[in-house]
Amino acid sequence: MFLFPTYYYKNVQSIPLEELFRNKIKGIILDVDNTLIDYKREMPSEIKTWVAHAKEKGFKICILSNSNKRDKISHVANELSIDYFLKAGKPLKKGFKKVLNHMNLKPEECVAVGDQIFTDVVGANWMHIVSLYVNPINKKEFWYTKWKRPIEELILKKYLSKN
């Protein structure tokens, strides 16, 4: 089902880089809001360590965000020393195609990591990119995300019952 993530993880830092490497994944596409940073724009230090380790292993990493707040996204990208694209329009394919082209990778060589089913998971699935769903960092969210969470919880419950 296109609403189900390929894999589910507690958080970004619990994603096993060794397993991605063994499965010939070369690129990691990251969401920002509530995936890398919380509502207050704070990033857990474990995420910084995970990204640094991923870069050491040779993964290409890029941020793909629906946000139009360049200052916020560029700050996160600079802190992690990775490239970024904003105003992605996820789940539409345009943003994913830009990132794939930028990293010079095919969809099957990438994973997309995010905390929202209707943007991150659906967009990755439509592009035939492995979708990795992670729990939101924090319960506090923007109003335009908050209303979707009960629906996402039902989808995740069904996903988890099948796995």
* C-alpha gyration radius of the chain: 14
**Rounded CA separation 79/49 (Å):** 11
Q: pLDDT tens digit string along 109-142? A: 999 999 999 999 999 999 999 999 999 997 655 5
For the beta carbon of residue 109, count every other beta carbon within 10 angstroms: 17
Stretch 63-71: mean pLDDT, rounded?
95
pLDDT value of residue 138: 72
Q: pLDDT tens digit string along 86-109? A: 999 999 999 999 999 999 999 999
pLDDT value of residue 144: 57
User: Which homologous superfamily is 7-162 in?
Assistant: HAD superfamily/HAD-like (3.40.50.1000)
Q: pLDDT tens digit string along 38-66? A: 878 999 999 999 999 999 999 999 999 99
